[in-house]
Chains A and B, each alone.
Chain A
């Protein structure tokens, strides 16, 4: 241990998404200047801080929550394809309860409980029944969509105005509630994982389940809990989403969000093979994705075509992290072969 600790920028995988994020922001600033807009402007309107950057963070808040949950699952070497569907289930259920005249607290609790149940089913299938994570969560993805349609009666549910709107539209010190809530959740999760042994357990279960089981770790329980956490996060994302847009669409809601969440996590340096987790990276990764979406909007790319550049970036990020590419780089720099 005589070597000095490598500096942060070389140690943390979060550097890459951060660099990408700054690059995209620079593109936006340049594009804004060209068209006479100031991308970084912050103005105060009716006690609300208004800025394109705050909009990105606000609209990115569901992506951020999903990425948080997905990080936990991917760290255990799993994957959760059902997050978009669970969003629709939780959102649809909450909207239905609100429409039937229940209070906001009841609706939130019931929706989170439903999301937790979905996560628990995923976890039991993966950890208990030993079904491959892709398959188990794919089943949830198919069946859950039907469940969401049943809960909402097969139509888009409009949410009556009331206290529930606070989640998507409320302000704390001029800033929107949702991103603050999400950031707090990240901090709590980070503290929970890194200031206790929980993070180590997750990584151990993902790195080598057999070895960690022999070392006395209840691998199955840890993996199951990761899916439960992911389900709850997806439920929260669904709540934020319906509170923001004011209606719950059981068909379209969250239908492509699973890829966004996986992307944020992979770009953030959490390996898909499991055993490594970087919450900060996922945070920046999710913001990067939202900024990419906004940038394409500003650059005039039609929203239907937006998946193309997104997919290209995702593939590029995955390829850049692959062993093959690393070996190529190692060969280019013979002095620092890893």
Chain B
């Protein structure tokens, strides 16, 4: 088989599984194949999706960021308190949250790079730091009543028979597109994959390893904060416990999408497929109602494992050639 085919295989497998899952769910539950449900899945997954795009960049370079869920939670409560308690305009508050997220990501990256610490450890500590900060800002959920923000929350569009909440979808789409271009059509993206493939080779080739990695973590922090901001557009409130466990969903989406957790190999469109697979599973379990919500976690875990084993097999075959 050609190397091109081998590189695309994980993505093809993922896309096939998505189609099979979606088709099976559609046959089993009436109304699953409806514009309304498709829109619901996309809207519900938009925050995880945005987060997963940033995370994909970090994982391309062989890193990991466990703090994304906590950063998103911190961003929602930051926006809400800034708007409600300090009278800041929502746009300014959102910008502040994005800047905070990016700075946070950059700070962690500097520690990881400068002090040669394992990324999972620093970002795990970062997860606690961000979550603690969120609780420090407010332990209760804060509703955003600013008229401009309310307008954004209530902004609906008619798509055929169903009302669509376009803002989260548009932002998700834009982030995904930007991530795709950045990952697959720029020097930055190729550097990321080169670093993930072999950091020492990338360094010997004269690539700006540290700067590229720090940029990736910064973008990841930015998208995590954006995921939080988008969530305030959906719920109209900020909540410091938002995003608990979301980092696992995001990582699962990236890995199911065929991106190698060791770095160096992966596709941004795969991440979209991963996000949609998670959304389809959750939606199907909702439709079914007989199965416990606990099964979501077990199924996601099993899928994750299956994909990782598949990747190992593929890699072993690639190495043998």
A169 at interface by CB-CB < 8 Å: no
Kindly list chain A residues whose C-beta atoms are within 8 Å of the C-beta of B99. Answer: none
Least Cβ–Cβ distance between B50 and chain A, in angstroms: 20
Kindly list chain B residues whose C-beta atoms are within 8 Å of the C-beta of A256. Answer: 128
> Given the interface contacts A135-B261, A138-B251, does A143 sit within 8 Å of B125 by beta carbon?
no
Kindly list chain A residues whose C-beta atoms are within 8 Å of the C-beta of B115. Answer: 318-319, 322-325
B290 at interface by CB-CB < 8 Å: no
The segment from A157-165, A213-221, A304-312 found at the interface with B is A304-312
Query: What are the interface flags for A198-237 relative to B under an 8 Å C-beta threshold, 1 for contact and 0 otherwise?
Result: 0000000000000000000000000000000000000000
Minimum CB distance partner of B305 in chain A: A139
Kindly list chain A residues whose C-beta atoms are within 8 Å of the C-beta of B294. Answer: 146-147, 149-150, 154
A135 to B64, CA, bound (A): 10
Q: Which of A134, A135, A272, A311 contacts B126 (CB 8 A)?
A: A311
Summed over the interface, the residue pairs from A and B with CB atoms below 8 Å come to a total of 123
Q: Which of A134, A142, A259 contacts B125 (CB 8 A)?
A: A259
| Contact call A312/B129, Cβ cutoff below 8 A | yes
> Given the interface contacts A130-B312, A272-B121, does A305 sit within 8 Å of B132 by beta carbon?
yes
A130 to B312, CA, bound (A): 8
B120 at interface by CB-CB < 8 Å: yes
| Contact call B308/A146, Cβ cutoff below 8 A | no
Query: What are the interface flags for B291-311 relative to A under an 8 Å C-beta threshold, 1 for contact and 0 otherwise?
Result: 011111111111011001100
Query: What are the interface flags for B103-142 relative to A under an 8 Å C-beta threshold, 1 for contact and 0 otherwise?
Result: 0000000010011111011101111110111011001000
Kindly list chain B residues whose C-beta atoms are within 8 Å of the C-beta of A140. Answer: 301
Kindly list chain A residues whose C-beta atoms are within 8 Å of the C-beta of B132. Answer: 304-308, 310-311
A241 to B111, CA, bound (A): 35
> Given the interface contacts A146-B296, A149-B297, A319-B117, does A304 sit within 8 Å of B125 by beta carbon?
no
Least Cβ–Cβ distance between B12 and chain A, in angstroms: 22
B252 at interface by CB-CB < 8 Å: yes
Kindly list chain A residues whose C-beta atoms are within 8 Å of the C-beta of B125. Answer: 259, 311, 314-315, 318
| Contact call B124/A262, Cβ cutoff below 8 A | yes
The bracket for how many chain A residues form the interface is 35 or more
Q: Which of A131, A134, A149, A310 contacts B312 (CB 8 A)?
A: A131
A79 to B125, CA, bound (A): 15
A61 to B301, CA, bound (A): 30
A141 at interface by CB-CB < 8 Å: yes
Kindly list chain B residues whose C-beta atoms are within 8 Å of the C-beta of A143. Answer: 297-298, 300-302, 305
A145 at interface by CB-CB < 8 Å: yes
The bracket for how many chain B residues form the interface is 35 or more
A129 at interface by CB-CB < 8 Å: yes
A325 to B132, CA, bound (A): 27
A143 to B127, CA, bound (A): 20
B248 at interface by CB-CB < 8 Å: yes
B37 at interface by CB-CB < 8 Å: no
A138 to B248, CA, bound (A): 8
| Contact call A322/B116, Cβ cutoff below 8 A | yes
Kindly list chain B residues whose C-beta atoms are within 8 Å of the C-beta of A144. Answer: 301
Query: What are the interface flags for B274-300 relative to A under an 8 Å C-beta threshold, 1 for contact and 0 otherwise?
Result: 000000000000000000111111111
Which residues in A have some Cβ–Cβ distance to B below 8 Å?
Answer: 79, 125, 129-132, 134-136, 138-147, 149-150, 154, 256, 258-259, 262, 266, 272, 302, 304-308, 310-312, 314-315, 318-319, 322-325
Closest 6 CB pairs of A and B: A143-B301, A146-B297, A308-B132, A149-B294, A304-B135, A307-B132
Starting from the known contacts A130-B312, A135-B255, A149-B294, 6 additional A-B residue pairs (CB-CB under 8 Å) come to: A142-B301, A143-B302, A146-B295, A149-B292, A259-B128, A324-B116
**Could you list some 14 contacts between A and B, CB below 8 A?**
A125-B305, A129-B312, A131-B309, A131-B312, A132-B262, A143-B298, A146-B297, A147-B294, A149-B292, A302-B135, A305-B135, A305-B136, A312-B129, A318-B115
